[in-house]
Structure 1
Amino acid sequence: MAWELGNPFDLTGKVALVTGGGRGIGSGFARAIANAGADVVLAARSKEQLESVADDIRAMGRRVVVAPTDVSDLDQVRSLMQLPTEELGRFDIFFNNAGTNRRLPIAEATPDDWDAVHDVNLRAAFFAMKYAIGPMLSGGYGRIINTASLTSFIGMAGNSMYGASKGGVAQMTKAIATELAETPIRVNAIAPGYIRTAMTEARYHQDEFSSWVLSRVPMRRWGEPADLGGTAVFLSSPASEYVTGHVIPVDGGWMGA
Structure 2
Amino acid sequence: MATATSERQETGAHPLFSLKGKVALVTGSSRGLGHAMAVAFARQGAHVIVHGRDPDQLAALAERLEESGANAGTASFDVTDMPACERAIDAIVSDHGRLDILVNNAGLASRSSIAETALADWRTMLDANLTSCFLLAQRAGAHMREREYGRIINISSAAGLFAARDRAAYVTTKHALMGLTKSLALEFAPFGITANAIAPGFIATDMTAAIRENSQADSWVKARNPQGRWGEPDDVAFAAAYLASEEAKFVNGAILTVDGGMSAVVI
TM-score, with length taken from structure 2: 0.91
Corresponding residue for residue 37 of structure 1? 45
In 2, the alpha carbon distance for the partners of 1:52 and 1:253 equals 36
Corresponding residue for residue 162 of structure 1? 170
* Structure 2 residue runs without a partner (length 5+): 1-7
Q: Which has the higher contact order (CA 8 A, sep 6+)?
A: 1
Identity of aligned residues (%): 37
- Asked if 1:84 corresponds to 2:120, the answer is no
- Asked if 1:240 corresponds to 2:248, the answer is yes
In 2, the alpha carbon distance for the partners of 1:81 and 1:210 equals 39
Corresponding residue for residue 26 of structure 1? 34
CA RMSD across the alignment: 1.5
Letter in 2 for 1:212: W
Corresponding residue for residue 187 of structure 1? 195
- Asked if 1:197 corresponds to 2:205, the answer is yes
Alpha-carbon deviation of 1:48?
3.4
In 1, the alpha carbon distance for the partners of 2:151 and 2:15 equals 17
In 2, the alpha carbon distance for the partners of 1:223 and 1:55 equals 27
Question: Deviations 1:137-189 (Å, cap 9, x if unpaired)?
Answer: 22332000000101110110011100000101001101110111222100001
Corresponding residue for residue 121 of structure 2? 113
**202-211 or 183-192: which moved more?**
202-211
Q: Is the 8 A contact 1:23 1:49 kept in 2?
A: no
In 2, the alpha carbon distance for the partners of 1:73 and 1:202 equals 30
Question: Deviations 1:31-79 (Å, cap 9, x if unpaired)?
Answer: 0011000001111112233234323321232221111111121111111
Q: Is the 8 A contact 1:42 1:67 kept in 2?
A: yes
TM-score, with length taken from structure 1: 0.95
- Give the alignment of 1:59-78 within 5 angstroms: 59-78=67-86
1:124 to 125, 128, 132: 132
1:83 to 1:41, Cα distance in 2 relative to 1, 3 A:
farther
**Higher Rg:** 2
